[in-house]
Amino acid sequence: MRTDRQHACALDAADPLSNWRGRFVLPRDASGRELVYLCGHSLGAQPALAAEFVADVMRDWQSLGVEGFFAGRRPWLSYQERAAPTLAALAGADTQEVALMNTLTVNLHLLLVSFYRPAGRRTALLIERHAFPSDRYAAESQVRFHGLDPAHDLIELEPRPGESCLRTEDVVATIEREGPRIATILLPGVQYLTGQRLDVSAITAAGRRAGCTVGWDLAHAIGNVPLALHDAGVDFAVWCHYKYLNGGPGAPGGAFVHARHARRDDLPRFEGWWGNRPASRFQMQPRFEPQPGADGWQVSTPSIIALAPILASLEHFAAVGLATLRARSVALTGYLESLVAARLGDRVTLLTPTDADQRGAALSLRLECARDAARSVFDGLVDRGIVPDWREPGVIRAAPVPFYNSYEDAWRLVDALAAELGAP
């Protein structure tokens, strides 16, 4: 392969999607130089349109006060509804199956309250050993909330010795073996540390065959890889909007509840007035009348200011479409992977699967040196204006995001790594 910078620039020039970079405000250093921002898997870059959408809310608040709930450019009472079609398309869901609310871990708790119902022999929650800490804390505390002991009722999947990723056949085998005692399965669509994309359909099908409820943490998957939650039969899912969906730091989260649960009144739920039907919400009656679908799990008045950047960002997703973005993403990440292999050789190990179907945009690189030496390589990258991120113990994650990263960004990352590692 060609490893020169001119080739990277030529690839950028030939791709019509390269123009989208201009609609994002990318971080700069103290001297005003644009950084090579490869951290969209952690916090997505700001769409320029986000500031306009926030300004609209501020203006409506100034001029309309409380009337802004009913009037103005985008009335606040139905603000989230504007997001639903695009969000549903990204999740592979019907609009009633998705809700924009709270934050990821809060949504996880709310949905586990409804869908993790240990009973009889079926008491366990299946997660992965390397689950994102917040998911683990939520899962363990839910097990304890039911008076159970995580030492017995939290089952953990882990990769085979010497491997970094889970194999679908091993996940399915565990579900088949332990199925009768598993109440609920909670796994990530894309694993945060390795970048592995799990097979949502196959694992959900295995879980349902075994009589378990199946939920997914899609923090690193939504807006990154195609999803088909409805067709896969997923019971519930949660995600955040601040990674690939560019909704800003701490942006409200998302939730999916399958249509087969939309009108169930036998599910326990932690209720709040925003989950009540809009038609009767302001009648202030004592009896809770849930909205059908995922919106029934809403609890509180949403922060409209916080929703505004999400709405702006979703306009971009609606305009381009995930299939187009994904095609560019596969090409960009494939290019980055080939450059790493060609220029860095065995100085780094790729933890992410090499099969494009089994990963999203992000690659995780383990540097083959002592932890402190690896950390100074990372610090050296930052000094050179490159922004990947660092995850203990010694993993550098970098995501060339198809909306705003370029082939040249990928080239600059690998060139800087080569310089820091003393590679030719």
Ligand X SMILES: Cc1ncc(COP(=O)(O)O)c(C=O)c1O
Footprint of ligand X on residues 59-118 (CB under 6 A)?
103-105
Nearer to ligand X, 175 or 190 (CB): 190
E strand residue ranges, 56-161:
98-101, 124-128, 154-157
The reply on whether position 189 binds ligand X by CB under 6 A is no
Question: How many residues lie near ligand X (CB under 6 A)?
Answer: 13
Q: Please, what is the end-to-end C-alpha distance for the chain in angstroms?
A: 16
The reply on whether position 361 binds ligand X by CB under 6 A is no
- Rounded to whole angstroms, how far apart are CA atoms 126 and 115? 13
Nearer to ligand X, 52 or 158 (CB): 158
Nearer to ligand X, 250 or 278 (CB): 250
**Hey, which residues does 24 pair with through a beta bridge?**
47
Stretches 1-9, 140-148, 154-162, 213-221: which one binds ligand X (CB under 6 A)?
Answer: 213-221
The reply on whether position 420 binds ligand X by CB under 6 A is no
Quickly count: other Cβ atoms within 10 Å of residue 257's Cβ.
29
Best CA proximity match to 4, nearest among 259, 343, 231, 344:
343
**Contact partners, residue 152, CB within 8 Å, separation at least 6:** 124
- Rounded to whole angstroms, how far apart are CA atoms 414 and 406? 13
311: amino acid identity, one letter:
L
Nearer to ligand X, 103 or 174 (CB): 103
Radius of gyration of the CA atoms of the chain, in A: 22
- Rounded to whole angstroms, how far apart are CA atoms 253 and 300? 13
- In whole angstroms, the minimum distance from the beta carbon of 130 to ligand X comes to 11
Footprint of ligand X on residues 225-264 (CB under 6 A)?
240, 253
Nearer to ligand X, 139 or 414 (CB): 139
The reply on whether position 192 binds ligand X by CB under 6 A is yes
List the one residue from 132, 244, 317, 404 that touches ligand X (CB under 6 A): 132
- In whole angstroms, the minimum distance from the beta carbon of 84 to ligand X comes to 20
Best CA proximity match to 214, nearest among 242, 168, 240, 183:
183
Strands 98-101 and 213-217: unpaired
Q: Are 353 and 415 in contact (CB under 8 A)?
A: no
Give the residue at shortest CB distance from ligand X. 105
The reply on whether position 217 binds ligand X by CB under 6 A is yes
Q: Are 389 and 379 in contact (CB under 8 A)?
A: no
Best CA proximity match to 267, nearest among 284, 292, 230:
292
The reply on whether position 188 binds ligand X by CB under 6 A is yes
Nearer to ligand X, 135 or 140 (CB): 135
The reply on whether position 134 binds ligand X by CB under 6 A is yes
- In whole angstroms, the minimum distance from the beta carbon of 372 to ligand X comes to 25
List the one residue from 172, 183, 193, 219 that touches ligand X (CB under 6 A): 219
The reply on whether position 396 binds ligand X by CB under 6 A is no
Stretches 130-138, 163-171, 329-337, 395-403: which one binds ligand X (CB under 6 A)?
Answer: 130-138
Footprint of ligand X on residues 319-358 (CB under 6 A)?
none
- In whole angstroms, the minimum distance from the beta carbon of 99 to ligand X comes to 15
- Rounded to whole angstroms, how far apart are CA atoms 207 and 201? 10
Query: Where along the sequence are the contacts to ligand X (CB under 6 A)?
Result: 103-105, 132, 134-135, 188, 192, 217, 219-220, 240, 253
